[in-house]
């Protein structure tokens, strides 16, 4: 079953809150479908660095930039990409 990036993040975030997060995830899909952004959001979630978002002083939504996936890789986080 295919999910949008936002819906997939909601489901994974919910599992994280319940302490039921899987030890690994495999994302597949067409180029530009949001796999890297979803992965970066999940890394931020589990590492405790999730962006707050919210609203600015003028009531405008704060757009949170997701850092590049390679910048989030660490000792506990391994990004694996297919060989071309």
pLDDT digits (tens, 9 = 90+) for 20-38: 999 888 888 888 888 999 9
Residue 15 lies in a domain: yes
Q: Are the beta carbons of 41 and 9 closer than 8 angstroms?
A: yes
Residue 77 lies in a domain: no
Residue 48 lies in a domain: yes
Task: Please state the pTM of the whole predicted model.
Answer: 0.72
Q: How confident is the model at residue 55 (pLDDT cuts 50, 70, 90)?
A: confident
Q: How many CB atoms lie within 10 A of CB 42?
A: 21
d(CA 22, CA 75): 18
Q: Residue 50: which domain range? A: 5-72
Residue 43 lies in a domain: yes
Average pLDDT of the chain, as a whole number: 84
Q: Can you give the pLDDT at residue 52? A: 65
Residue 78 lies in a domain: no
Residue 68 lies in a domain: yes
Domain count, the chain: 1
């Amino acid at each position: 079953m295919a999910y949008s990036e936002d819906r997939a993040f909601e489901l994974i975030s919910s599992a994280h809150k319940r302490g039921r997060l899987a030890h690994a995830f495999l994302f597949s899909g067409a180029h530009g479908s949001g796999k890297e952004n979803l992965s970066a959001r999940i890394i931020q979630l589990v590492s405790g660095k999730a962006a707050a978002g919210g609203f600015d002083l003028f009531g405008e939504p704060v757009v949170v930039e997701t850092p590049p996936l390679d910048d989030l890789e660490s000792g506990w986080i391994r990004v694996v990409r297919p060989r071309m």
